[in-house]
Amino acid sequence: MGKLGSLTAPVSNWMTALPAHRNLMEAAVGIHRDRKLPVFHRQTFSCWFDRRKTQPFAARGRVALFATCTVEYNEPATGKAAVAVLEKNGIDVSLPSQRCCGMPYLDGGAIKEAKRLIAGNVRTLAEAVREGREIVVPGPTCSYMLKQEYPWLDGSEDANLVAGHTRDLFEYLASLHGAGRLDTRFPKAPGTIAYQLPCHLKAQNLGTKSADVLRLTGARVETVERCSAVDGTWGLKKEYFELSMKLAQPLFRDIAAARPDRVATDCPLAALQIDQGMGRRAQHPIRILAEAYGLSIEE
């Protein structure tokens, strides 16, 4: 779906806004006609990464970026910001061959298809680890999959190797700061941020690493520990859309109470829900961090 959406963008974005097409989509695949959907970008993140021009620098660390489907097809600027911030801090970034992490298939009970995707990712990511790279992931659901689900679903030594070397993006940046290796010179303070803590980061017992790093910029960060009530594909479905929006009301209230200048979340589905329920754009924290550094990120 993501590859087709990007290949046909911007036509795909225009079509998903048509009421007749949304009615058809609801009947065919069960996505509620009123549910906001991600925007597709014609240039995928991997295409940008392969074509970009880089200047040589003395690397102080090496990572392999597991970009996620959202970054690849819908939010390439989030991936660009991640690369820019990592490189500013002396980290060499590679982009191994990769497919979907498998969570949507697992969520829908398609175990065989999920295992096939997982096996392919394990092969390329394990190779990157053997080259001396940590695996860095900007999406909480995908990092959770690599850490928690890959070892038992794949069962190989390589799957355990991948799990042991996978880091959420802000988990990795926080570790750089703990080692005194994170550049903390920020010319642009972001103001007040309401930060929604994703459930799949809670499940990794990581604390509030994204909020902690954002505070280094001089921002006042209010952490909102409320579920967005999307739950993968559940909140997209016609049967549960209205209930999903109702269950998200405490999140909307807490964000509004913070009176923030901007809203942040690592979870793309939570960002969609916040946009749907509040009409506010929720950015990935790495976008805000890149801006605080004064880095220019192409949309």
168 and 190, same domain (yes or no): no
Q: Is 51 among the domain residues?
A: yes
Q: Cα separations (Å) of 167 from 72, 90, 162, 163, 164?
A: 19, 17, 10, 9, 9
Cβ–Cβ < 8 Å for 120, 249: no
Residues 158-172, mean pLDDT to the nearest whole number: 99
164 and 198, same domain (yes or no): no
Predicted local distance difference test score (pLDDT) of residue 126: 99
Pairing of strands 166-168, 61-65: unpaired
Q: Is the pLDDT of residue 7 over 80?
A: no
CATH classification at residue 164: 3.40.50
Predicted local distance difference test score (pLDDT) of residue 116: 97
Give 127: exposed, middle or buried? Use CB within 10 Å, 0-12, 13-18, 19+.
middle
Residues 57-86, mean pLDDT to the nearest whole number: 97
Residues 253-270, mean pLDDT to the nearest whole number: 98
Each residue's pLDDT tens digit, 97-148:
999 999 999 988 999 999 999 999 999 999 999 999 999 999 999 999 999 9
Return left, alpha or beta for 90; rule: phi > 0 is left, psi -120 to 50 is alpha, else beta.
Answer: left
Q: Is 229 among the domain residues?
A: yes
Q: Is the pLDDT of residue 66 over 90?
A: yes
230 and 139, same domain (yes or no): no
**Last residue of a domain, which of 141, 159, 177?**
177
Residues 135-162, mean pLDDT to the nearest whole number: 98
Residues 177-187, mean pLDDT to the nearest whole number: 98
Q: Is 2 among the domain residues?
A: no
Q: Is 86 among the domain residues?
A: yes
Q: Is 91 among the domain residues?
A: yes
Residues 251-256, mean pLDDT to the nearest whole number: 98
Cβ–Cβ < 8 Å for 44, 248: no
d(CA 251, CA 239) in angstroms, rounded, equals 21
Q: Is 10 among the domain residues?
A: no
Domain count within the chain: 2
**Last residue of a domain, which of 140, 158, 177?**
177
Nearest to 212 by CA among 221, 203, 204: 221
Q: Is 18 among the domain residues?
A: no
> Residue 200's domain spans which residues?
186-293
Q: Is the pLDDT of residue 30 over 70?
A: yes
162 and 195, same domain (yes or no): no
Predicted local distance difference test score (pLDDT) of residue 170: 99
Name residues whose C-beta falls within 8 Å of residue 127's C-beta, 6 or more positions apart in sequence: 96
Give the alpha-carbon dihedral of 198, 212, 185, 89, to 10 degrees: -60
**Last residue of a domain, which of 177, 211, 237?**
177
64 and 90, same domain (yes or no): yes
140 and 161, same domain (yes or no): yes
Predicted local distance difference test score (pLDDT) of residue 232: 87
Q: Cα separations (Å) of 225 from 60, 205, 250, 253?
A: 34, 13, 10, 12
Q: Which helix H or strand E contains 271, and what residues bound it?
A: helix 268-278
Predicted local distance difference test score (pLDDT) of residue 5: 65
d(CA 255, CA 127) in angstroms, rounded, equals 42
Predicted local distance difference test score (pLDDT) of residue 175: 98
Predicted local distance difference test score (pLDDT) of residue 1: 64
Q: Is 194 among the domain residues?
A: yes
201 and 169, same domain (yes or no): no
173 and 190, same domain (yes or no): no
173 and 191, same domain (yes or no): no
> What is the percent of the chain where pLDDT is above 70?
98
Q: Is the pLDDT of residue 42 over 70?
A: yes
Predicted local distance difference test score (pLDDT) of residue 177: 98
Q: Place 14 in a pLDDT band, splitting at 50, 70 and 90.
A: confident
Give 148: exposed, middle or buried? Use CB within 10 Å, 0-12, 13-18, 19+.
middle
58 and 86, same domain (yes or no): yes
d(CA 247, CA 201) in angstroms, rounded, equals 20
d(CA 299, CA 290) in angstroms, rounded, equals 13
3-class secondary-structure state, position 221 = strand
Q: Is the pLDDT of residue 76 over 70?
A: yes
134 and 211, same domain (yes or no): no
Residues 16-45, mean pLDDT to the nearest whole number: 90
Q: Place 9 in a pLDDT band, splitting at 50, 70 and 90.
A: low
155 and 250, same domain (yes or no): no
| Mean per-residue pLDDT over the chain, rounded | 95
Residues 225-246, mean pLDDT to the nearest whole number: 95
